[in-house]
Amino acid sequence: MRSRLNELERMLNTLDFFRPGLGQFLSALDRPGSPNHPWLVNGNTPRTNLYDTGNNLELSVELPGIAKEELKIKVQGNYLEISGQPQTKPLEGYRVHRSERDMAAFSRSFTLPYDVEADKVEANLKNGILKMVLPKAEAAKPREIAIS
């Protein structure tokens, strides 16, 4: 009986070795957007969704409070870059008491899964959502091959 207790005690002591690292990992899970979350987008980068609809790629980007004049979009081949510099000024005669929304310049770039036809790209900004339709280049579209 005593030997089994010694084995259990040794096992628990071994687990103590992992406790500090495990504690740091679990506490990092409570802080989304921290450097410990490389799969999350940081607060200064707009969130995006990219869909393949067959002949097109469709991109939705969250840009609340951004005017279309404050955006720049560049497309070349399969490279897309969206950048912007929001202009925030307090209303005339008012003072800022609290400013929690991050309004710094941002830039987001993507390597798209296909080349797109840059001259046919459509972009629309409505209600803080930028929607883009990026037509695939002819070489990237699937082709049906007839068997002879």
Asked if residue 30 and residue 7 are part of one domain, the reply reads: yes
Asked if residue 64 and residue 27 are part of one domain, the reply reads: no
| Residue 8, in any domain of the structure | yes
More confident residue, 37 or 104: 104
Q: Give this prediction's pTM.
A: 0.63
Residue 44's pLDDT band (cuts 50, 70, 90): low
Predicted local confidence at residue 37, as pLDDT: 47
Number of domains in the chain: 2
CB of 79 closer than 8 Å to CB of 110: yes
Asked if residue 68 and residue 28 are part of one domain, the reply reads: no
Domain that holds residue 121: 48-90+98-140
Asked if residue 74 and residue 4 are part of one domain, the reply reads: no
Q: Does residue 49 register a pLDDT over 90?
A: yes
Q: Does residue 105 register a pLDDT over 60?
A: yes
Gap between the Cα atoms of 82 and 42, Å rounded: 16
Averaged over 115-124, what is the pLDDT?
A: 93
Residue 4's pLDDT band (cuts 50, 70, 90): confident
Residue 130's pLDDT band (cuts 50, 70, 90): very high
| Residue 133, in any domain of the structure | yes
Asked if residue 54 and residue 116 are part of one domain, the reply reads: yes
Strand 71-76 relative to strand 79-84: parallel, antiparallel, unpaired? antiparallel
Domain containing 131 — which CATH number?
A: 2.60.40.790
Sign of the four-CA dihedral 95, 97, 103, 104: positive
Averaged over 85-89, what is the pLDDT?
A: 76
| Residue 145, in any domain of the structure | no
Predicted local confidence at residue 56, as pLDDT: 92
